[in-house]
A and B are shown apart, each in its own frame.
Chain A
Amino acid sequence: MEALILEPSLYTVKAILILDNDGERLFAKYYDDTYPSVKEQKAFEKNIFNKTHRTDSEIALLEGLTVVYKGSIDLYFYVIGSSYENELMLMAVLNCLFDSLSQMLRKNVEKRALLENMEGLFLAVDEIVDGGVILESDPQQVVHRVALRGEDVPLTEQTVSQVLQSAKEQIKWSLLR
């Protein structure tokens, strides 16, 4: 941990990961060559998952990298940066990702909902971080830019189960309100 003056850089994020409650990769985007091969990436993800999924603390130092994380039902969100990086910046990215998804999935941040909105996830991450540079940190902006049509899908194009699901969602939220 030698004192080191950071080379000023906009490249803040090394990776964004989303794992399920078995530690399986649902989404992973690595922005630099810290873990060049898929094998190394998976090993790193396994290590991260083992060290974090049982605790609810939100930050850890693993393999010389700072990892901020957050769990939600059966999902685990991770943002990874260098150990010299400002932890609060990484936290801002994590919060933005989580809040954006939470809005897009109507507060229903869990594995199945996420898988049904995979394209939304891809687009949101693309709006938040570009090549390791933080592009946007305001969840409202992200949701606005992703602009998923959601409602305006013609009913005819939806499958029966999707219609049922969305009806159920609507009932649930109206009851909870």
Chain B
Amino acid sequence: MLKKFDKKDEESGGGSNPFQHLEKSAVLQEARVFNETPINPRKCAHILTKILYLINQGEHLGTTEATEAFFAMTKLFQSNDPTLRRMCYLTIKEMSSIAEDVIIVTSSLTKDMTGKDDNYRGPAVRALCQITDSTMLQAIERYMKQAIVDKVPSVSSSALVSSLHLLKSSFDVVKRWVNEAQEAASSDNIMVQYHALGLLYHVRKNDRLAVNKMISKFTRHGLKSPFAYCMMIRVASKQLEEEDGSRDSPLFDFIESCLRNKHEMVVYEAASAIVNLPGCSAKELAPAVSVLQLFCSSPKAALRYAAVRTLNKVAMKHPSAVTACNLDLENLVTDSNRSIATLAITTLLKTGSESSIDRLMKQISSFMSEISDEFKVVVVQAISALCQKYPRKHAVLMNFLFTMLREEGGFEYKRAIVDCIISIIEENSESKETGLSHLCEFIEDCEFTVLATRILHLLGQEGPKTNNPSKYIRFIYNRVVLEHEEVRAGAVSALAKFGAQNEEMLPSILVLLKRCVMDDDNEVRDRATFYLSVLEQKQKALNAGYILNGLTVSIPGLERALQQYTLEPSEKPFDLKSVPLATTPIAEQRPESTPITAVKQPEKVAATRQEIFQEQLAAVPEFHGLGPLFKSSSEAVALTESETEYVVRCTKHTFLNHMVFQFDCTNTLNDQILENVTVQMEPTESYDILCYVPAKSLAYNQPGTCYTLVALPEGDPTAVACTFSCMMKFTVKDCDPTTGETDDEGYEDEYVLEDLEVTLADHILRVLKPNFGAAWDEVGEEFEKEETFTLSTIKTLEEAVGNIVKFLGMQPCERSDKVPENKNSHTLFLAGVFRGGHDILVRSRLVLTDTVTMQVTARSTEELPVDIILASVG
């Protein structure tokens, strides 16, 4: 009866939030009451609450109005009402960063902090430290020291925590309070102990020895506070990590002993510390895993969550260590907290056997819609790992992924799914057809442009190679009809790729492309027109060059070259070969070169490293007339040890018929200045040294650059690999290290550097041909050569592939650098551009017997590169 009445009352008074419609100006107006005497504490406290509430809601107070209110508030210190006083402290803290001259309350706060009323002292310390800067701190230092060792816990804690905050700005002052903190650390109060240890650690954290001492001192007697234990465990595990963990250390023993602590918080902290230690063995993990196992059946959701999350981490590195917990994890699969259930399932997916996958997937799909996107991504990652582990299960997993793809979800989540599906398609050729058709369905209703264009690109690449390519056309053409311009452009490119590879489909593709010629958007129209005219030529080489493999030049480079060309009008047509090529990043495995469609991605057209070099080189008059820079070596080679008097690093720049060696030199002697520095070079082959560009002067620790220009051998063009012996020549002038004054007289000196190698890879740029077969046909067999070699020192196909790629410096295509397991033959496709802009393609068939036998077939548009490749390999 009473309850009912209550409820009704509540409803009628539902809108009675006294703070709901507060106006900032009205509240600040009210603050004038502060000036009245006598002070009405209740009313004033309520006004302060209103001000705090406004700040809390994110209302912005201007400096003037805040300062005004702040000064009015200082009057309230005349009242002795406890609540009002406490509200003043809060207001001071909140306003310390907004109002000006807040330090005028310093004396009032100092008085409260040293006063008799314990309830005032702690909060007063905290408020005071909030408004104090490093210059003022000296004045209150004495009080702070007293407060730290105060016998009232709230005062001591407040002082310690405030000192911790002050460390950031006034380390040197707070450092002097360690003795007091040390005393506080033996306090009986659990929070004081925790805060004191925290402060001590932060003061001493750069002194390993002191930290070690601190740990052993406080752990020997045992600590009272679970928080302090957690802190100590973290400190200990950090020390262990820096020591590169010998596990016999007393630190590890301490952490392990914490597994038997009576507080769950400490036990969990210890277990998680052990799990996170790098390079932990299964034996060391075992006790940690078994306490986590116990936690799995705790009634507290947070503890179950913590346990299963940590087990999930263990499972990534040591799945076998977690197998013992499988039964407990199974029980969590139906946990009402979906985060726990998801973590349990993804852990089981890592540790369980192949047979349990179907069941687990079914379970997880029953509540996929209830969990947050973060966890959905975790699930997708687990699936992606599973696909690699059990390739046979891909059908089940693919189905699951497609169901997820159809459901609602954010971009990150969808992208994770699409990534995962694409990688499955790449690994498993059987799954390609189903995968592609599901992706087709997905783009029928896809709100993410990036994903749609990416899938269209994939369709264009993989679709024509399937058994029944015509079924994809409808999906692609639908995009042209229904989507906005970016997707339409992508769809047009995909259509053209089908037309280029399928003779039967060509007529219908031409019809479709003709319809696109009337599109509203420039880009779509241009593409359609372009592809149409290429396709109508019906020449394979054109198809391969302009549709299937696209441009390989660097886009910013092209922009610059074209601008240059328009500035200096000439009779000659623009030569595409003068544009620097886009270098393919070596680490990139996936064909990221989604041509033109993906240009919308946020990747800024920043000047690449090569373009920076190009500008630097163009500034040197000796190098005019060398033509465009073809390639710069990817990283500078050190020609000295790093600790010597002079440090020299070399970068190789390749031009059409010349090479420039750039030497970045640093003088590490502070009593010398080097002048007129050159690097003299002596080639083993018939390279000609043309000129040296010296670095004028090298002062102490200021890097300088000198260059050496050489001409490539003309007589024997196949001899591209060469070794240069190098010698640095310079004039030394002694100087005074302190004043920097130099002697006028100098003397000649030399310094021997290590040899510099020029290899075949310096003459070839890596270029990715997304469709190697088409490129192979395009180049044609005019200059084809073939030879067979035995690689006697190499024992596996992976090793052979790695070596060949590195030696030739060419880009592996069609993922042929991945050798399938358990096979004894493999074909590697490599593509590159030879100096001078000639495409060069290499097909290398490898057969493993006892050693590896390699048949190399090279094709190019010129004879020379083919000869050079074969000559170098042999």
Residues of A within 8 A of B (CB): 1, 3-10, 25, 27-29, 38, 41-42, 51, 55-64, 68, 86-92, 111-112, 115-116, 118-119, 122-123, 126-127, 130-131, 133-137, 141, 145-149, 153, 157, 168, 171-172, 175
Contact = CB atoms under 8 A, between A and B. Distances in A.
A87 to B, nearest CB: 4
Contacts of B87: 119, 122-123
Given A86-B268, A136-B191, 13 more contacts: A7-B234, A8-B231, A8-B234, A25-B58, A58-B302, A59-B302, A60-B372, A88-B306, A89-B230, A134-B191, A135-B157, A145-B122, A147-B119
Contacts of B52: 118, 122
Nearest to B1: A175
A3 B42 contact: no
Interface in B357-384: 370, 372, 374-375
B561 interface: no
B82 A149 contact: yes
A87 B340 CA distance: 13
Nearest to A50: B372
A57 to B, nearest CB: 3
Nearest to A7: B238
Nearest to A130: B161
Interface residues of B, number: 81
Given A57-B338, A58-B302, A60-B339, A118 B19 contact: yes
B49 A122 contact: yes
B6 A172 contact: yes
A157 B82 contact: no
B154 interface: yes
Contact of A147 (B2, B53, B82): B82
Main secondary structure of the interface of B (DSSP, over half): helix
Given A41-B58, A59-B305, A130 B126 contact: yes
B164 interface: yes
Given A68-B302, A92-B265, A123-B86, A112 B13 contact: yes
Contacts of B867: none
Interface in B113-131: 119, 122-123, 126
Contact of B372 (A61, A118, A122): A61
A10 B58 contact: no
Contacts, number: 179
Nearest to B18: A115
B122 A137 contact: no
23 contacts: A5-B234, A6-B234, A10-B195, A58-B302, A59-B301, A61-B375, A87-B303, A91-B302, A112-B16, A116-B18, A119-B87, A122-B49, A122-B52, A122-B90, A123-B83, A123-B87, A134-B227, A135-B191, A136-B154, A137-B191, A145-B154, A157-B42, A171-B2
B161 A131 contact: yes
Contacts of B265: 86, 88-89, 92
Point out which of B19, B301, B312 has the most chain A C-beta atoms below 10 A from its C-beta: B301
A92 B227 CA distance: 10
B83 A149 contact: yes
Contacts of A5: 234, 237-238, 241, 273, 276-277
B37 interface: no
B17 interface: yes
Point out which of A42, A130, A135 has the most chain B C-beta atoms below 10 A from its C-beta: A130
Interface string B321-339: 0000000000000001111
B770 interface: no
B218 to A, nearest CB: 13
Contacts of A59: 301-302, 305, 337, 339
A25 B158 contact: no
B372 A62 contact: yes
